[in-house]
Amino acid sequence: MRFSGIIPFLLVITVASPATCADAINGLIAEYYSDASIGKLVTRQLDPNIDWVWDYGPPLPDIPKDGFSVRWTGWIKAPKAGK
């Protein structure tokens, strides 16, 4: 089964100074919600990567396979300047 609609998501990125990023843990804080409106928090965890394919099941056992939402927060440091 494939999801053929639009998947709403919210990605919050905060830019930090290099000194702050150097001391940080690698990953973003993920808050998983059991509804699509970011209202019913189920769990919070550190996601080291955001590279998911949720075509065949829920992201976590206590989350429904459809109609859930995830909010990632944290800092992203580019490895080098560029375009």
Digit-by-digit pLDDT tens for the chain (83 residues) are: 344 444 454 444 444 444 444 455 688 899 999 998 889 999 999 998 888 888 888 888 889 888 899 999 988 877 888 87
28 sits in which H/E element: strand 28-33
The domain locations on the chain are: 10-73
Q: How many CA atoms lie within 13 A of 55 on its CB side?
A: 5
Model confidence, pTM: 0.64
For residue 62, give Cα distances in angstroms to 23, 58, 78.
32, 8, 33
For residue 81, give Cα distances in angstroms to 38, 57, 77, 78.
34, 38, 10, 7
What is the C-alpha to C-alpha distance for residues 16 and 78, in angstroms, rounded to an integer?
11
